Chain A
């Protein structure tokens, strides 16, 4: 369920406090990111040992580009808090934002490829 109506108070407290600990009390990211923005490794390796959440984010993005929404889900942190952590990593050039192609909804080749892919992978779907 998405409501937190039946969460115990102690749990609520923990969940509300932890985000601000991992961001050092900051609540606003400096970089503009969308939920769907994709993050990939940047050109610098991390200089110092990173905090665990940042380390995890970097490791995930090393495998493949990851969206902000996906990273927040993996880290178990709200989106806004995740953005603050990612923003630091962008500043340090440890991560970079992937600029996506323009207007995929009008990209005939991409749509055709996806249609073929879906039909091949899921032959049961009518």
Chain B
């Protein structure tokens, strides 16, 4: 920041990625593995609108329910100044309002699948699919998981289209977490290029 108002370096490019997954699936762990700051967690109240969604589902509507949102950040100087912002959000359907919020302007999403509770990520998968936001499924292999799934088995269980990448990962290890990010960016890039090639679909 220059006090004399002279030329300042260009503002960094800001890019956002959403990390969604069920409780205990490893969202906070993944955000920490990538973030250069201690991840920040904050709470969002469940609004009355979403509380009524709950009661429609026959779930007890508690107005005091809060949603934990994780925030992490990763700064780049090369090839240009960039800042990647990571937002972690729970994957339960009743938290859809945070997904709407976080997905706006995101380059894509990472859905964390916990093989002990694979069904927990159905809502997030369905949501990002419908929204048309590029997403990848990252499978955390927990030591106490009763069964090891192959990526193909996960794809079948989640009924994922062929193009959606599925990766086994260990969210506690930075290289593994980064590998998931790279997979997502590549996937988004492939989609962006193909929509350029067939401009009939979207302007």
Interface residues of chain A, those whose CB is within 8 Å of chain B, are 2, 34-36, 38, 62, 64-65, 67, 69-70, 72-74, 77-80, 82, 100-101, 104-108, 110-122, 124-126
- Give, as a whole number of angstroms, the nearest-CB distance from A126 to chain B: 5
Are A73's CB and B14's CB within 8 A? no
B80 at the interface (CB under 8 A from A): yes
The closest CB in chain B to the CB of A115 belongs to B185
Q: Name B107's contact: one of A35, A70, A79, A104 (CB within 8 Å).
A: A104
- Docked Cα-Cα span, A80 to B195, in Å, equals 37
- Docked Cα-Cα span, A101 to B16, in Å, equals 12
Residues of B within 8 A of A100 (CB): 14, 105
- Docked Cα-Cα span, A119 to B87, in Å, equals 21
Residues of B within 8 A of A69 (CB): 40, 42, 69, 71, 87, 102
Given contacts A113-B82, A116-B79, contact A73 B186 (CB under 8 A): no
Residues of A within 8 A of B202 (CB): 106
A-B residue pairs, 7 tightest by C-beta = A73-B40, A125-B178, A117-B76, A72-B42, A2-B68, A79-B44, A124-B175
Given contacts A35-B102, A80-B45, A105-B133, contact A118 B181 (CB under 8 A): yes
The closest CB in chain B to the CB of A105 belongs to B107
The secondary structure that dominates the B interface is: mixed
Q: 1/0 per residue B98-123: CB within 8 Å of A? A: 10011011111000000000000000
Interface range, B side: 35 or more
Residues of A within 8 A of B87 (CB): 35-36, 67, 69
Are A108's CB and B182's CB within 8 A? no
B85 at the interface (CB under 8 A from A): yes
Are B69's CB and A79's CB within 8 A? yes
Are B44's CB and A114's CB within 8 A? no
Residues of B within 8 A of A112 (CB): 189
B43 at the interface (CB under 8 A from A): yes
Residues of A within 8 A of B175 (CB): 122, 124-126
- Give, as a whole number of angstroms, the nearest-CB distance from A64 to chain B: 8
